[in-house]
C-alpha cells in the first residue's frame, strides 16, 4: 500500500490509470472517494500495489499465441515467465504472469480525456506525421486554446467538431483516435477497414476541432474549487450542487449547441431559459461565446462541402434543417446510417445548432451525430465502439459515400 497526495486535475480514474489500477481498486482502498463527486488537492489516498494479470495456459497454446492474445511482446512475456518462449513451461494448466499491454498509439484513454490530453496528443500527432498540421483558431472564455488539426490536400473540405457539450467529452478522443488511424494508414499506404486513406487525402481536406468546449469539459471532469474564477456563479447556476457531471454549457453557463445564428430567437423562446444554466441557455446573442464564434469563423474562412458535429448519445444521425439542406443530404444520411448501424432521423423543432447554421449558411450537407447509447457522460468502456463508429461515419464521407 502506498500513499498518494491528490493534485489539481486529479480524478480517481486518472490516478488509477497512472498506477496500473482500476478506479474500483482506488475506491476500495479509499471508500470516501466513491461518495464525493471530485477529489480535492491535498487529499491523501492509499493505493494498493498494481495487481498482475495472470493466465492459465490452455491446450494448444504457445508463447506466440498467448502474446498475441494479450497484445504483448514475446520478450516481455519471457521476462516475467522465464522459459515460456522455449516451451519449457508453456504447458496446459501452468499459470503465467502477463505484462501490461504495449500501447502502439498516441491517443488512448488514461482516465478522463480533457484539455491537457488534447494538447498533448495534438502535439504528438503533428510531430509524428508531417502531413498533419495543428493550429489554434481561438481561445475559450478561460483562455484555453481551441485546437484545430488538419489533414488532407484535396479540394473538398470537411469540417468536424466534437465536445461542443461539456458532458459529451468522450466524443473528443473518438475523433482524435480516427485522426491518428487515418494518419497511420495514409503514411503506411494501408487501407482502413477496406477504404483508401490515400483517396481521402487526395480528394478532401479534413478540418477537425476535437474539443470545442474545453472549459466545460474540465468543469465536468474536475469540478469547481473555491479558487475558480467563476466559482460563486457556477455554484449558483448549478443550484448548489457540487457535481457538474450533467453540465452541457460553457463556463459562462451558455449552451454552445444553441449559439448559432439559425433561427436563434425561436430557439431561445422555445427553451425559455432566461439566464446562465447547466444547459439550454442560448446566451445574450448568437455567437456571443468565443468557442461558438471560433467555429463559425473557421467555416467562413474555409467554406466546407460537408460538416459533422459529434455529440452523444442516442446512436442517431440528424441530417435536415427546415428544408435548407441540399437534395443529397437524405441519401448521405442513409449511407452513414448503413455503415454505422445508427438511425437517420429527420428532425423538427430544433434550431441554432452548428449543423443547422452550417446547412442554412452554405446549403451543403451537415450532420449531427449522436454517438453511443446511455447517459452522459458515457462510460469510458464505450470508447472503442464509439471511436469505430466515428471512423466509419467520417470515412464514408471522405470516400464520397462509394
370 labelled catalytic: yes
Burial string for 167-181 (b: 16+ CB within 10 Å, else e) reads bbbbbbbbbbbbbbb
The residue behind cell 451543403 is 364
Residue 297 host element (H or E) = helix 290-301
Name the catalytic one among 117, 168, 291, 370: 370
C-alpha cell at 64: 506466440
Nearest CA to 245 out of 172, 170, 175, 139 is that of 170
Instruction: Give the three-class secondary structure for 390.
Output: helix
CA distance 34 to 12: 9
Nearest to 209, CA basis, from 276, 104, 292: 292
* Strand (E) or helix (H) holding 372: none
Q: What angle do CA 270, 160, 210 make, to 5 degrees?
A: 95
Burial class (CB within 10 angstroms; exposed 0-12, middle 13-18, buried 19+) of 226: exposed
Burial 84-103 (b: 16+ CB within 10 A, else e): bbeeeebeeeeebebbeeee
What are the strands, taking DSSP E only, across 72-163? 95-98, 132-139, 145-152, 156-162
Q: Say if CB 384 and CB 318 are below 8 A apart.
A: no
Name the residue among 79, 74, 71, 125 with its Cα closest to residue 103: 71
Please list the active-site residues.
370
Amino acid at each position: 500500500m502506498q500513499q498518494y497526495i491528490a493534485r489539481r486535475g486529479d480524478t480517481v480514474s486518472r490516478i488509477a490509470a497512472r498506477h496500473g489500477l482500476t478506479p474500483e481498486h482506488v475506491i476500495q482502498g479509499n471508500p470516501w472517494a466513491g461518495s464525493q463527486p471530485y477529489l480535492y488537492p491535498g487529499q491523501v489516498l492509499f493505493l494498493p500495489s498494481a495487481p498482475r494479470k495472470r493466465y492459465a495456459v490452455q491446450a494448444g497454446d504457445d508463447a506466440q499465441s498467448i502474446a498475441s492474445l494479450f497484445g504483448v511482446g514475446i520478450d516481455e512475456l519471457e521476462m516475467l515467465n522465464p522459459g515460456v518462449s522455449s516451451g519449457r513451461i508453456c504447458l496446459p494448466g501452468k499459470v503465467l504472469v502477463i505484462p501490461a499491454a504495449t500501447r502502439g498509439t498516441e491517443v488512448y484513454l488514461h482516465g478522463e480525456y480533457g484539455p491537457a490530453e488534447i494538447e498533448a496528443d495534438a502535439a504528438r500527432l503533428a510531430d509524428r506525421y508531417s502531413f498533419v498540421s495543428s493550429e489554434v483558431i481561438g481561445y475559450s472564455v478561460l483562455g484555453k486554446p481551441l485546437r484545430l488539426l488538419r489533414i488532407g490536400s484535396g479540394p473538398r473540405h470537411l469540417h468536424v467538431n466534437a465536445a461542443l457539450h461539456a458532458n459529451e467529452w468522450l466524443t473528443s478522443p473518438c475523433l482524435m483516435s480516427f485522426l491518428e488511424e487515418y494518419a497511420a494508414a495514409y503514411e503506411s499506404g494501408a487501407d482502413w477497414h477496406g477504404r483508401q486513406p490515400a483517396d481521402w487525402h487526395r480528394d478532401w481536406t479534413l478540418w477537425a476541432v476535437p474539443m470545442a468546449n474545453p472549459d466545460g469539459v474540465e468543469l465536468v471532469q474536475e469540478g469547481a474549487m473555491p479558487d475558480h474564477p467563476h466559482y460563486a456563479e457556477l455554484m449558483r447556476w448549478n443550484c448548489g450542487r457540487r457535481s457538474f457531471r450533467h453540465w452541457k454549457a460553457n463556463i459562462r453557463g451558455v449552451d454552445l449547441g444553441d449559439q448559432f445564428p439559425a433561427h436563434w430567437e425561436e430557439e431561445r423562446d422555445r427553451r425559455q431559459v432566461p439566464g446562465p444554466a447547466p444547459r439550454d441557455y442560448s446566451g445574450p446573442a448568437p455567437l456571443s461565446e468565443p468557442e461558438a464564434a471560433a467555429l463559425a469563423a473557421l467555416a467562413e474562412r474555409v467554406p466546407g462541402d460537408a460538416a459533422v458535429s459529434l455529440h452523444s448519445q442516442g446512436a442517431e444521425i440528424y441530417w435536415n434543417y427546415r428544408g435548407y439542406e441540399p437534395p443529397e443530404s437524405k441519401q448521405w444520411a442513409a449511407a452513414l446510417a448503413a455503415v454505422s448501424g445508427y438511425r437517420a432521423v429527420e428532425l423538427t423543432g430544433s434550431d441554432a445548432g452548428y449543423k443547422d447554421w452550417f446547412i442554412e449558411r452554405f446549403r451543403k450537407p451537415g450532420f449531427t451525430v449522436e454517438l453511443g447509447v446511455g447517459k452522459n457522460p458515457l462510460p469510458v468502456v464505450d470508447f472503442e465502439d464509439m471511436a469505430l463508429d466515428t471512423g466509419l461515419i467520417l470515412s464514408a464521407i471522405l470516400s464520397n459515400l462509394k
